Structure 1
Amino acid sequence: MTLNILGKDLAMLQELSTKTDDSSISKQLDLINSIYANGTNGQDKLLTLLIERNQLASRRVNCVDGLIFELLLQSNNVNIKKDINMNFKNGIVPLKSAYNIDYIPLQKLLVSKNFQAADRITQIKLCELSRKAGNHERDWLYFTDILLLPAEDLYSIDQLWQVHSQGLFGLSIQRNIWLAQNSNWEKLWDKIGWKINKVACRYPCEFIWDLSAPAGHLPLFNQLRGVQVLASLFLHPVWTQSLKE
């Protein structure tokens, strides 16, 4: 009976694998959890599936790959852990940087769901990137710095957040919500939970550092300093470019 259920779950997961709408992604995530719960047999199937998905040059890594990867890292099966580390020693998100910035620390924090630390290191990496791209030594971002930030770096950061948050977090997620609100900042703050009853949340205690947060809640930017940096990020060409991995 268990094998029949496993087979059905795998077949349904394969059937949904090309669909990227929210409902289909949610179903895929549920199926992955169900397959993983079947023990070594299910985990072997998920490992094979992840390797096959990774070999498709035409597709983009998404949160389905992220969940499979994260679950397999938690497996008690020594061989599965060995295989996952051998096949994906640098993770599943291609980490490209125009200035050879190391995004592995950010990846590890996101994989382990340490979102508060990941948020802090995101700001550190953006400032590091800005210093190299703009040839300055500041530890903060001006809105005029943003256009100089390389698309591949912003894309790497955004992909890490999306892939390892079940599609909940990331700059592009925030941008899409902003656009859906007709670029209204107050509506954005409300939607992503940065303000409650029109009062800005206090850092860090009033922000949510897990997957129960609203879509787009992370990574944070200080809206009390104005919207120019975030507006410049949302208008960066990266979001309208087609970046091949």
Structure 2
Amino acid sequence: MTDQTTADLPYTSQDLTDLRCKFESGSEKTQLQLLPELLKAGNAGLEVLMEFLRNSQSAPTNLVTAKAYQTLYNANVPAATEFLQTHFPTGIIPLHSERGIDYSSLQHLLLQQDFLAADRLTLQKLCELAGTQAVQRKWLYFTEVENFPIPDLQTINSLWFLHSEGKFGFSVQREIWLSVGKDFLKFWPKIGWKSGNNWTRYPNEFTWDLSAPRGHLPLSNQLRGVRVIAALLSHPAWSS
């Protein structure tokens, strides 16, 4: 973060009051749009976000609280860092795992929007869920996916969904898949994995930022056929 954004900028007291009121009373869409403005307001804007997160602490994490957390996380301001370490020492999304898997490194990559590294780590974590043999071969059988614990899949999905402004995640892919009648020939182009007869080539032809089509990420080894992703999108994690 540059000195210009970390220091208080020439926002008047009335400007900040108006900005705070708009943010606190706005819809989710408006709040997301105002977050960059609060960041531009410097320390005073960050204070608004810290107060907002403090007041939202007992509520379930949504897209706005996740983005506010992400804004503070990446601000590189000591007061913001101290606030997050005090009030959200493990992040804003609960990292539940039935098998003792640590998802903090995935959370860190997604907070930084390093989607390529996060995608690779997601496959690694899914292989860890599947067991030693999957870790060694570095890919999944659909029968292994069917036995994944619900809390773990929900954790991975929440990290992707909430730290991508609702654009990525298995639940998003499932929604799109259901909308096309579970027809993979229609599904692949919708999420940008295929164009005409041509598969999107990994990694350079995929889009590793928020300009990607909705549901573009995470990947799930689509070149091995549809059974793995069908198992993921049919998993009971999404109906519980």
Normalising by structure 2, what TM-score?
0.88
State the partner residue of 1:14: 24
Q: Partner of 1:62 in structure 2? A: 62
- Residue equivalent to 2:158: 159
Unaligned runs of 5+ in 2: 1-10
String of CA shifts for 1:151-176, please: whole Å, max 9, x gaps: 00000000000111111110001101
Please report how far the alpha carbon of residue 181 of structure 1 lies from its aligned counterpart in structure 2 after TM superposition.
Answer: 1.2
How many angstroms does 1:230 deviate by? 0.7
Match of 1:29 among 16, 27, 32: 32
The Cα shift of 1:224 comes to: 2.2
SS in 2 for 1:214: coil
Higher alpha-carbon deviation: 204-213 or 47-56? 47-56
Deviations 1:184-203 (CA, angstroms, capped at 9, x unpaired): 11211111100122310111
- Report deviation, 1:138: 5.0
Are 2:53 and 2:69, in contact at CA under 8 Å, matched by a contact in 1? yes
Q: Which one-letter code corresponds to 2:131 in the other structure? A: R
Which of 28, 42, 46 aligns to 1:43? It is 46
For residue 9 of structure 1, report the CA deviation from its aligned partner. 3.4
Asked if 2 retains the 8 angstrom alpha-carbon contact of 1:131 and 1:138, the reply is: no
Where 1:96 maps in the other structure, the secondary structure is coil
Q: Given residue 147 of structure 1, which amino acid in structure 2 is its aligned partner?
A: E
Q: What is the Cα deviation at residue 140 of structure 1?
A: 2.2
1:40-60 deviation line (CA, Å, top 9, x unaligned): 11110111111221222xxx3
Give, as a single letter, the amino acid of the residue that structure 2 aligns with 1:31: L
Contact 2:190 2:213 in 1 (8 A): yes
Following TM superposition, by how much is the alpha carbon of 1:137 offset from its aligned partner in structure 2, in angstroms? Answer: 6.4
CA distance in 2, matches of 1:12, 1:55: 22
Distance 1:128 1:76 in 2: 32
1:1-245 alignment to 2 at 5 Å? 2-16=12-26, 24-56=27-59, 60-75=60-75, 77-131=77-131, 139-241=138-240
Distance 1:136 1:89 in 2: 29
Query: What's the offset of the Cα at 1:8?
Result: 3.4
Counterpart AA for 2:43: T
- Taking the aligned partners of 2:14 and 2:89, their CA distance within structure 1 comes to 33
Q: Which has the larger displacement, 120-129 or 217-226?
A: 217-226
Q: Amino acid of the residue matched to residue 195 of structure 1?
A: K
The residue identity in structure 2 corresponding to 1:217 is: H
CA pair 232-46 structure 1, distance change in 2 beyond 3 A: same
Aligned-partner residue type, residue 105 of structure 2: P
Normalising by structure 1, report the TM-score: 0.87
Q: Which amino acid aligns with 2:120?
A: R
Which letter maps to 2:24? Q
In structure 1, distance between residues paired with 2:185 and 2:221: 14
Offset of residue 76 of structure 1? 5.0
